[in-house]
């Protein structure tokens, strides 16, 4: 069965059907008794940037590894550019570029050498290799570093080198596993801009994983939210946000925490949910940000309580994630590290 017959392709702007680049149908990955991916289905249209958004251990890398032929599928199927990954892995490998989660370019080699090895591995003819390397280095803005050792690059530059490496054989479909994890906010935005440009100039379809809400929101045409190996929601960022009751989020910080705040906030007109964040700090989903704000101010004044801060925003993907999973997915899930105090003997740093 061909990829296009499994899923009706989404129509593009003028109503014409779009070709399906990736079709995943009831895919399952089991490690012994543990199901890392549980019956997931979705399709990605040609030219889309599609995001798999989920917390650590959700199954994002496992999904990518199956789609890119790195691990076998337990059941179900993945069809990439019309080829079933189980039946035609070599055909799949020829048309995809893969950026794994870990940085894997060789630190002791130059950029040119790292790219050249990959070009050879992918069978790029000798006559085209130098031109391809020149093109991809230019595309990721690393031309002048061509003969530098990879270990002299910053984290953001190394990520860009990995992106260049994934493109050196001119793939049509690009898989990126957490392309900006560990980068500072400025480098992260630079990578987003680069990926957007590459999508257009190289006519690429991209599937990326991320646990950054903002990344999914800004970069992806459509997002699949994955949690505990299951796909819990799928849509454009706007569709996902609209699927959550309450158009606005009011963030309120009371000077003093009392047990009653949550119940009091829930009773206000238009409030659809209240999420306690920390002592005295609540995220309130409401159908009317302005009304709820007024009511919170009046409530605090009538009780003689002080508000430390109050802000109104539109619903975010964070709210979408809470809505579908009952938990939060914070952008930064890294434990804070105390750089000032050295670890005590016997204590893990």
What residue ranges bind ligand ATP (CB under 6 A)? Answer: 31, 34, 36, 54, 56-62, 101, 211
CB of 267 to ligand ATP, least distance (A): 38
| Contact partner, 272, from Mg ion, ligand ATP, none, Cβ < 5-8 Å per class | none
| Contact partner, 171, from Mg ion, ligand ATP, none, Cβ < 5-8 Å per class | none
| Contact partner, 322, from ligand ATP, Mg ion, none, Cβ < 5-8 Å per class | none
- Contact yes or no for 80/92 (Cβ under 8 A): yes
CB of 333 to ligand ATP, least distance (A): 9
Please state, in angstroms and rounded to a whole number, the distance separating the CA atoms of residues 272 and 319.
Answer: 12
Please state, in angstroms and rounded to a whole number, the distance separating the CA atoms of residues 233 and 227.
Answer: 10
180 lies in the binding site for Mg ion (CB under 5 A):
no
CB of 31 to ligand ATP, least distance (A): 3
CB of 14 to ligand ATP, least distance (A): 36
Interactions with Mg ion, residue window 99-138 (CB under 5 A): 101
CB of 212 to ligand ATP, least distance (A): 11
| Contact partner, 270, from Mg ion, ligand ATP, none, Cβ < 5-8 Å per class | none
CB of 38 to Mg ion, least distance (A): 16
61 lies in the binding site for Mg ion (CB under 5 A):
yes
In terms of CB distance, is 102 or 121 closer to Mg ion?
102
CB of 317 to ligand ATP, least distance (A): 16
In terms of CB distance, is 24 or 250 closer to ligand ATP?
24
Burial classification of residue 314, based on how many CB atoms lie within 10 Å of its CB (0-12 exposed, 13-18 middle, 19 or more buried): exposed
Cα–Cα distances in angstroms (integers) from residue 257 to residues 264, 276, 280, 298, 328, in the given order: 12, 11, 4, 17, 21
In terms of CB distance, is 56 or 200 closer to ligand ATP?
56
In terms of CB distance, is 1 or 102 closer to ligand ATP?
102
Please state, in angstroms and rounded to a whole number, the distance separating the CA atoms of residues 44 and 96.
Answer: 14
In terms of CB distance, is 60 or 222 closer to Mg ion?
60
- Contact yes or no for 150/110 (Cβ under 8 A): yes
Question: Segment near Mg ion (CB under 5 A), from 32-40, 59-67, 251-259, 274-282?
Answer: 59-67
Query: Any bridge partners for residue 99, and if so which?
Result: 176
Cα–Cα distances in angstroms (integers) from residue 80 to residues 47, 170, 203, 250, in the given order: 13, 16, 16, 43
The residues near 330 (Cβ < 8 Å, ≥ 6 apart) are 318
In terms of CB distance, is 3 or 36 closer to ligand ATP?
36
Q: What is the radius of gyration, based on Cα positions, of the chain?
A: 23
The residues near 139 (Cβ < 8 Å, ≥ 6 apart) are 164, 167, 194, 197, 198, 201, 202
Q: DSSP code of 62?
A: H
| Contact partner, 31, from Mg ion, ligand ATP, none, Cβ < 5-8 Å per class | ligand ATP
Which residues are near Mg ion by CB under 5 A? 60-61, 101
């Amino acid at each position: 069965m061909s990829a296009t017959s499994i899923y009706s392709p989404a129509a593009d702007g003028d109503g014409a059907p779009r070709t399906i680049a990736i079709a995943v149908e009831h895919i399952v990955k089991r490690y012994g008794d543990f199901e890392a991916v549980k019956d997931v289905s979705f399709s990605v249209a040609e030219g889309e940037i599609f995001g798999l958004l989920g917390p650590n251990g959700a199954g994002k890398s496992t999904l990518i590894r199956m789609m890119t032929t790195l691990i076998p599928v337990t059941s179900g199927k993945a069809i990439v550019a019309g080829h079933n990954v189980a039946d035609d892995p070599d055909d799949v490998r020829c048309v995809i570029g893969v950026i794994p989660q870990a940085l894997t370019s060789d630190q002791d080699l130059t950029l040119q050498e790292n790219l050249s090895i990959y070009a050879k591995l992918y069978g790029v003819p000798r006559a085209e290799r130098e031109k391809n390397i020149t093109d991809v280095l230019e595309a990721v803005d690393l031309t002048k570093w061509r003969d530098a050792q990879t270990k002299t690059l910053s984290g953001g530059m190394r990520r860009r080198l990995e992106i260049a490496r994934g493109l050196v054989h001119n793939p049509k479909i690009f898989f990126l596993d957490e392309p900006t994890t560990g980068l500072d906010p400025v480098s992260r935005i630079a990578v987003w801009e680069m990926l957007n440009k590459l999508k257009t100039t190289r006519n690429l379809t991209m599937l990326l994983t991320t646990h950054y809400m903002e990344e999914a929101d800004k970069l992806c045409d459509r997002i699949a939210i994955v949690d505990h190996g299951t796909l819990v929601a799928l849509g454009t960022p706007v569709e996902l946000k609209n699927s959550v009751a309450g158009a606005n989020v009011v963030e309120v910080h009371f000077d003093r925490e009392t047990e009653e705040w949550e119940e009091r906030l829930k009773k206000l007109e238009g409030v659809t949910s209240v999420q306690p964040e920390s002592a005295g700090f609540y995220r309130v989903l409401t159908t009317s940000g302005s009304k709820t704000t007024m009511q919170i101010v009046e409530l605090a004044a009538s009780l003689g309580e002080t508000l430390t801060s109050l802000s109104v925003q539109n619903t975010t993907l964070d709210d979408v994630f809470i809505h579908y999973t009952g938990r939060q997915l914070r952008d930064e899930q890294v434990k804070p590290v105390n750089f000032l105090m050295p670890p005590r003997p016997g204590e893990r740093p």
